[in-house]
């Protein structure tokens, strides 16, 4: 049987990214995002707002780009995988565990002035573009409304 571990989330950063380095020099950026949803409760028929807080780790050049361009409140689309960690608390001796997301790719969302300082994105979610291999989006590329050539269509 095949296995799949893939997560897609859109949310806002709950804190500025924290950048650190492994002893080997690999960058790690840790940050949190808040993913909001609204639904109508069956019991009372009222609109209910629910927020899920998710911790995210980005590695390598992607971590450095996230640290440079993202800040608390900024919207982001992330694609990654779930990671489960277990350890023993040194102070209490209790077993602890945590489920977080390891970022594999991302998109800047929103315009420059949305949700905090810094740059990235292209003026709204529809204008967001994938940042390949952790590179920031290029602002010098003109947007295009033309459909892709026939040979680029995957079917």
111-152 pLDDT tens trace: 655 554 333 333 333 334 444 444 443 443 334 344 444 454
Residue of 105, 115, 122 whose CA lies nearest to 66: 105
| pLDDT for residue 43 | 87
**Which ranges of the chain have pLDDT less than 70?**
111-155
| pLDDT for residue 55 | 96
Q: What Rg value do the Cα atoms of the chain yield, rounded? A: 19
pTM of the model: 0.68
Q: Where are the beta strands (DSSP E) in the chain?
A: 7-13, 18-21, 27-40, 47-59, 75-88, 95-108, 130-131
């Amino acid at each position: 049987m095949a296995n799949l571990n893939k997560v897609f989330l859109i949310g806002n950063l709950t804190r500025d990214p924290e950048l650190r380095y492994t002893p080997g020099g690999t960058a790690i950026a840790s940050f949190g995002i808040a993913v909001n949803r609204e639904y109508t409760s069956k019991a009372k028929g009222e609109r209910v707002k629910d927020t899920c807080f998710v911790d995210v780790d980005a590695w390598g050049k992607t971590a450095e780009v996230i640290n440079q361009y993202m800040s608390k409140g900024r919207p982001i689309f992330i694609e990654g995988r779930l990671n489960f960690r277990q350890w023993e608390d040194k102070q209490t001796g209790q077993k602890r565990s945590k489920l977080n997301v390891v970022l594999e790719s991302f998109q800047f969302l929103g315009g420059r002035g949305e949700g905090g300082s810094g740059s990235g994105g292209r003026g709204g979610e529809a204008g967001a573009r994938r940042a390949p291999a952790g590179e920031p989006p290029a602002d010098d590329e003109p947007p295009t409304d033309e459909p892709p050539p026939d040979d680029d269509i995957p079917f």
